[in-house]
Amino acid sequence: MAVKRILIVDDDRDVHRLLMAALEAPDRTIHSAYDGLEGLRSVETELYDLVLTDVNMPGLDGLALLERIRRMRPNTEVLVMTVANTPENVIHAIRQQAFTYFSKPFTLNAVAEMAERALAGKSSAKDIEVVSARPNWVELRLRCKLATADRILQFLREMRIGIPPADEENIATAFREILFNAIEHGGGSDPEKSVSITYMRAEKSIIYQVRDPGPGFSFNMLPHAAVSNPLDSPMEHIGIRESLGLRPGGFGILLTRELVDELIYNEVGNEVLLIKYLR
């Protein structure tokens, strides 16, 4: 069994204790550094599979450390943590190919789950391509991999769009459903294909745009989706999905309609806008 090497870089010793308890496993060794420069020296002398770094630290901040790691150890995954979260920091982390990003306080389960994915997966610098990166307009191209979708969802959650938590969760859920549909059905889960996503923050609305590489669809030709169920058979699509070998679900479009203020598709059905109005 190959042992995975993890480095935690944070000037708060309590954070070290909590993360070490959450990440501990028989096939892992966990090391600590207590400021950015110490973390940099550790990365220079040792190979790590995963580095978890705070942003605000003495000597060298975590985003600068991320940049140095990218140049020295391009195969090392980096998970960024911060108490001083800003959209600019999130965007910088995306540009520098951080695996994911968490603002403090975070749940240990969420960090442990994402760390597990970072250690188990095979991400690539080409998985997420930045097209535009401004706090009010973030445009990305993602390879058609569900694991990449989960990563970008975490980044977008951290943009802190400034609406009530319940509404924030609703739009995140809606976006996840549409993005997964785009990857699975529009892109056929083919990592050689890409899905384009855009987050736009206007004065009175938040807009998510998703465009997939597929030929599109008609609402009249979606027997595997709940939106097409007859009124007298609201679960008919479940049996159809089973016969087609599709994952359980099919409620995406129906659910999304209830979670955002507007859901607008283009004519061919391969591009969609999710709109949430700010009140």
CA–CA gap between residue 43 and residue 51 (Å, rounded): 9
The dihedral region occupied by 276, where left means phi > 0, alpha psi between -120 and 50, and beta the remainder, is: beta
Q: Are 156 and 175 in contact (CB under 8 A)?
A: yes
Q: With respect to CATH, is domain 124-279 assigned 3.30.565.10?
A: yes
Q: Transcribe 222-275 into DSSP letters.
A: -TTSGGG--TT-TTHHHHHHHHHTPPS---HHHHHHHHSSEEEE-SSSSEEEEE
CA–CA gap between residue 166 and residue 83 (Å, rounded): 22
- Cα separations in angstroms, 225 against 186, 197, 229, 237, 263: 14, 22, 7, 6, 16
Q: With respect to CATH, is domain 1-122 assigned 3.40.50.620?
A: no
H/E element, 8: strand 4-9
| pLDDT recorded at residue 170 | 87
| pLDDT recorded at residue 224 | 53
Tokens found for residue 253: 């479009």
| pLDDT above 80: residue 38 | yes
Beta bridge partners, 80, equal 53, 101
The mean predicted confidence, pLDDT, of the chain is 86
Task: Give the pLDDT mean for 53-59.
Answer: 92
Tokens found for residue 22: 């959450």
Q: 160-191: string of b/e by CB count within 10 Å (b at 16+)?
A: ebebeeebbebbbbbbbbbbbbbbbbbbeeeb
- Cα separations in angstroms, 269 against 136, 196, 219: 26, 14, 9
| pLDDT recorded at residue 221 | 54
H/E element, 194: strand 194-201
- What is the DSSP pairing of strand 50-54 with strand 28-33? unpaired
Tokens found for residue 71: 């140049």
Tokens found for residue 122: 């095979």
Peptide bond into 164 cis (omega under 30): no
pTM summary value? 0.81
Domain boundaries, the chain: 1-122, 124-279
CA–CA gap between residue 142 and residue 209 (Å, rounded): 13
pLDDT digits (tens, 9 = 90+) for 209-253: 999 999 887 555 555 555 455 555 545 545 555 665 655 555 566
Contacts of residue 101, Cβ cutoff 8 Å, sequence gap at least 6: 79, 80, 81, 82, 89, 90, 93, 94, 154, 155, 158
The pLDDT > 90 percentage for the chain reads 56
Q: Which of 20, 21, 24 is nearest to 9 (CA)?
A: 20
Task: Give the pLDDT mean for 198-213.
Answer: 94
| pLDDT recorded at residue 243 | 63
pLDDT digits (tens, 9 = 90+) for 77-116: 999 998 878 888 988 999 999 999 998 888 899 999 999 9
Looking at residue 125, what DSSP letter applies?
A: T
Tokens found for residue 47: 């190979």
Tokens found for residue 241: 């999905």
